[in-house]
């Protein structure tokens, strides 16, 4: 088949799918299919005043990032052109898999066609509101991260001789229209597991059924009436492949340790799919559309003025893996540092790229194994994989439990009384509860789009156990803000934190005084986010008494002063939380 080159196609694509207007920002990058470090765009550094309190993740100069990307792409690419024996056009529908490396949908589309059309749909539903409480579904910081991911994906595809068609609208309208225009035989995409995404998959499949393709050479016309483009969905978001599990998802163990031990002993992790060095040619399209600006998404730019600023895209993801594992050599101490809260180095910070799919968990696995071979293997190198198995587990649980993950009673349909008190919720959301550890974490979340795992567990416990607030309000606020928002990990962790998850034993109460003393003994973390506490002696920063705003609720199990004494008055007050269970004290 000749490459689609007619101006008719270009006309149709303009007419049918409304390419976005702004001029491309990529025209100054080479479209030659070589992987040159020179193609990596220079990054603007934050102003010196801001840089004293902000750090970029990864924190590497652009030429170094370019080199890392070049080397990594080389290591995980193949030049095996022989595997391409397909015909016609195949579409790749990019979703939460915004990467070139280890992208099975992309490689399958390439192998089954003569021309690949990569498409991203800017779905207006992603910029609507959350399900129950009407918060913005995607906050400005995650939207900015997504924009950077798309720009980087477009660049990486162009470096391999392709491009990314960015379209504004619903996938179920855009993809059938494109399939018709380009007579694409298949739309390849990664499979999702939660209801909103599954619904879009269903609508896309229905839309494709309405498209009738002309008979291919040699095919009889009677057959052609059933000749529709297919939707081929591929599993690719987890470290362990769903098809390799030693049980069906309906009989997934309800205890994490059982799941982990079983997969560790009975399954192997598939190696990364090698991406061909050259993926072109693309169909001939006049206007590929450009990556949207934040205004086009109906949001206003928010600059990170304090804390970590994550750079979106696969190049940044691969660079962060390199920085954390190889350059800073932090993998060997991960287990000891992972409960920290301040700065980029206490944990990997891979989650925003994993959630957008700019980073493959199988790639991380292979890099851990390489590190273990070339440097050392210890508890810490294993523990990153242990945590990634949690991520897998929550994804598989979403398949087992479906929508109950989002319901008040959770997978176990637990009945409990919850409050939806707006004033209390807003105090939590805005970091004005009177508890420095809670307030600092909530301010970090809204300023950067990130919060440590320790912080997330503490603020979740405070909202649901101490305030008695409907856990879904917290989960939806996280959905708005988190750069790494992922429905499975977010709602999975929230149901556990609220004691309504699938495993009744995962029912924990986090004592703020105890957590503060253990994880922020010098008050460094709270003083960073609440500068008004900086003047206090270190041991008072988490226990400022009258020097800080009034506590909005007493703690369910009492306050402990900086000397460790229990505040018995507050211990007696239990508000409306009588019906809620205590949970295991942490
Ligand atoms: P590291 O400690 O370096 O861990 C490495 C990777 O393991 C992480 O990137 C992540 O992919 C995975 N991981 C670690 N802990 C968990 C966990 N408890 N559950 C699932 N995966 C884990 N994580 C998300 O990716 N998206 C979310 O929307 C999300 N919401 C959360 C909500 C609550 C209430 C809680 C308690 C946790 C949530 N987590 C979520 C899990 C965890 O907090 C983050 O994955 C982690 O803090 C990210 O930082 P990191 O990449 O430095 O993690």
Q: What is the DSSP string of 411-422?
A: TTT-----B--H
Three-class SS of residue 253? coil
Q: Residue 55 forms beta bridges with which residues? A: 308
pLDDT of residue 506: 80
Q: How far away, in angstroms, is 350 Cα from ligand 1 center?
A: 9
The DSSP symbol for 322 reads: I
Whether omega for the bond prior to residue 58 falls within 30 degrees of 0, making it cis, is yes
Ligand 1 atom 42: residue of nearest CA: 453
pLDDT of residue 42: 59
Ligand 1 environment, Cβ below 6 A = 338, 347-351, 354-355, 384, 387-388, 390-391, 394, 452-453, 456-457, 460, 478, 482, 484-486, 489-490, 493-494, 497
Helical (H) or strand (E) element with 584: strand 584-585
Q: How far away, in angstroms, is 266 Cα from ligand 1 center?
A: 25
Radius of gyration of the chain (CA): 25
| Mutual angle of helices 195-209 and 171-182, in 10-degree steps | 30
Around Cβ 66, how many Cβ atoms within 10 Å? 21
Asked whether the beta carbons of 130 and 476 are under 8 A apart, the reply is yes
Residue with structure tokens 């996938």?
A: 171
**CA 146, 149, 154, 160 torsion-angle sign:** negative
Three-class SS of residue 210? coil
Ligand 1 atom 11: residue of nearest CA: 351
Residue 451 neighbours by CB under 8 Å, 6+ apart: 441, 444, 445, 459, 482
CA–CA separation, 277 and 75 (whole Å):
11
**Mean pLDDT, each 10-residue run in order, the chain (586 residues):** 33 32 27 38 54 89 96 91 88 98 98 98 97 98 98 97 97 98 98 97 98 80 73 98 98 97 98 96 94 97 97 98 98 98 98 98 98 98 98 98 96 96 98 98 98 98 97 98 98 97 88 98 98 97 97 85 39 37 59
Q: How far away, in angstroms, is 235 Cα from ligand 1 center?
A: 21
Q: How far away, in angstroms, is 456 Cα from ligand 1 center?
A: 9
Three-class SS of residue 82? helix
* Pick from 425, 421, 405: nearest CA to 413: 405
Q: How far away, in angstroms, is 395 Cα from ligand 1 center?
A: 12
Residue with structure tokens 């009738």?
A: 212
pLDDT of residue 45: 56
The DSSP symbol for 581 reads: -
Three-class SS of residue 230? strand
Q: How would you classify the pairing of strands 566-567 and 559-560?
A: antiparallel
Length of the chain in terms of residues written? 586
Three-class SS of residue 120? strand
User: How big is the CA angle at 205 (ends 220 and 119), to the nearest 5 degrees?
Assistant: 100
Tell me the CB-side half-sphere exposure of residue 566, using CA atoms within 13 A.
10
Whether omega for the bond prior to residue 281 falls within 30 degrees of 0, making it cis, is yes
585: exposed, middle or buried (Cβ count in 10 Å: 0-12, 13-18, 19+): exposed
Ligand 1: which of 257, 484, 486, 501 to mutate, most ligand atoms within 8 Å of CB? 484
Helical (H) or strand (E) element with 526: helix 524-529
* Pick from 365, 192, 364: nearest CA to 267: 365
**CA 399, 400, 402, 408 torsion-angle sign:** negative
CA–CA separation, 541 and 301 (whole Å):
32
Around Cβ 77, how many Cβ atoms within 10 Å? 17
Q: How far is CA 159 from CA 76, 164, 318, 327, in A?
A: 15, 11, 16, 26
Ligand 1: which of 351, 359, 438 to mutate, most ligand atoms within 8 Å of CB? 351
Token pair, residue 300, equals: 């206003």
The widest CA-to-CA distance across the chain, in whole angstroms, is: 86
Asked whether the beta carbons of 560 and 513 are under 8 A apart, the reply is yes
Token pair, residue 158, equals: 């162009």
pTM, two decimals, is 0.91
Helical (H) or strand (E) element with 78: strand 77-78
Asked whether the beta carbons of 280 and 317 are under 8 A apart, the reply is no
Asked whether the beta carbons of 60 and 82 are under 8 A apart, the reply is no
Q: How far away, in angstroms, is 492 Cα from ligand 1 center?
A: 11
CA–CA separation, 258 and 256 (whole Å):
5
User: How big is the CA angle at 27 (ends 25 and 28), to the nearest 5 degrees?
Assistant: 100
Asked whether the beta carbons of 58 and 66 are under 8 A apart, the reply is no
Phi, psi of 574 (to 5 degrees): -125, 5
CA–CA separation, 112 and 104 (whole Å):
12
Token pair, residue 541, equals: 């920063």
């Amino acid at each position: 088949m000749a490459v689609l080159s007619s101006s008719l196609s270009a006309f149709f694509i303009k007419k049918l799918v409304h390419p976005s207007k702004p001029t491309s920002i990529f025209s100054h990058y080479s479209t030659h299919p070589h992987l040159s470090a020179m193609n990596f765009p220079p990054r603007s550094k934050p102003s010196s005043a801001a840089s004293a309190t902000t750090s970029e993740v990864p924190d590497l100069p652009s030429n170094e990032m370019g080199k890392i990307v070049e080397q990594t792409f080389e290591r995980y690419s193949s030049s095996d052109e022989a595997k391409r024996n397909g015909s016609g056009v195949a579409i790749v529908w990019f979703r939460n898999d915004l990467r070139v490396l280890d992208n099975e949908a992309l490689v399958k589309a390439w192998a089954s066609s003569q021309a690949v059309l990569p498409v991203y749909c800017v779905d207006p539903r992603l910029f609507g509101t959350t399900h129950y409480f009407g918060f913005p579904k995607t906050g400005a910081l995650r939207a900015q991260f997504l924009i950077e991911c798309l720009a980087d994906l477009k660049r990486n595809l162009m470096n391999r001789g392709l491009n990314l068609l960015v379209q504004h609208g619903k996938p179920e309208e855009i993809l059938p229209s494109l399939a018709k225009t380009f007579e694409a035989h298949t739309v390849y995409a990664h499979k999702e597991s939660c209801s909103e995404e599954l619904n879009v998959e269903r609508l896309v499949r229905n839309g494709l059924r309405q498209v009738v393709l002309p008979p291919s050479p040699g095919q009889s016309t009677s057959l052609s009436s059933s000749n529709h483009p297919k939707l081929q969905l591929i599993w690719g978001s987890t470290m362990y492949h769903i098809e390799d599990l030693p049980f069906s998802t309906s009989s997934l163990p309800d205890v994490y340790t059982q799941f982990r031990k079983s997969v560790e002993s009975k399954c192997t992790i598939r190696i990364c799919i090698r991406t061909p060095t050259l993926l072109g040619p693309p169909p001939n399209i006049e206007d590929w559309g450009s990556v949207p600006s934040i205004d086009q998404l109906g949001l206003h730019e928010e600059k990170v003025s304090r804390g970590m600023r994550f750079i979106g895209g696969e190049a940044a993801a691969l660079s962060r893996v390199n920085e954390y594992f190889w350059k800073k050599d932090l993998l060997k101490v991960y287990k000891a540092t992972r409960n920290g809260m301040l700065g980029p180095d206490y944990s990997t910070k891979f989650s925003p790229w994993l959630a957008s799919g700019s980073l493959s968990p199988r790639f991380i696995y292979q890099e851990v194994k390489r590190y273990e071979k070339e440097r050392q293997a210890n508890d810490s190198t294993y523990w990153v994989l242990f945590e990634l198995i949690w991520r897998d587990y929550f994804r598989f649980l979403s398949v087992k439990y479906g929508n109950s993950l989002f319901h008040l009673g959770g997978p176990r349909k637990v009945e409990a009384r919850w409050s939806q008190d707006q004033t209390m919720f807003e105090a939590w959301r805005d970091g004005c509860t009177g508890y420095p550890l809670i307030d600092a974490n909530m301010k970090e979340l809204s300023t950067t789009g990130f919060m440590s795992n320790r912080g997330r567990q503490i603020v979740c416990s405070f909202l649901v156990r101490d305030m008695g607030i409907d856990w879904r309000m917290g989960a939806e606020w996280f959905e708005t803000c988190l750069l790494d928002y992922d429905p499975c990990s977010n709602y999975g962790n929230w149901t556990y934190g609220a004691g309504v998850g699938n495993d009744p034993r995962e029912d924990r109460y986090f004592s703020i005084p105890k957590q503060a003393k253990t994880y922020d003994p010098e008050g460094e973390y709270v003083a960073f986010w609440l500068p008004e506490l900086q003047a206090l002696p270190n041991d008072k920063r988490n226990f400022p008494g009258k020097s800080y705003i009034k506590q909005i609720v007493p703690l369910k199990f009492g306050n402990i002063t900086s000397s460790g004494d229990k505040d018995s008055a507050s211990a007696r007050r239990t508000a409306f939380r009588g019906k809620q269970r205590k949970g295991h004290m942490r």
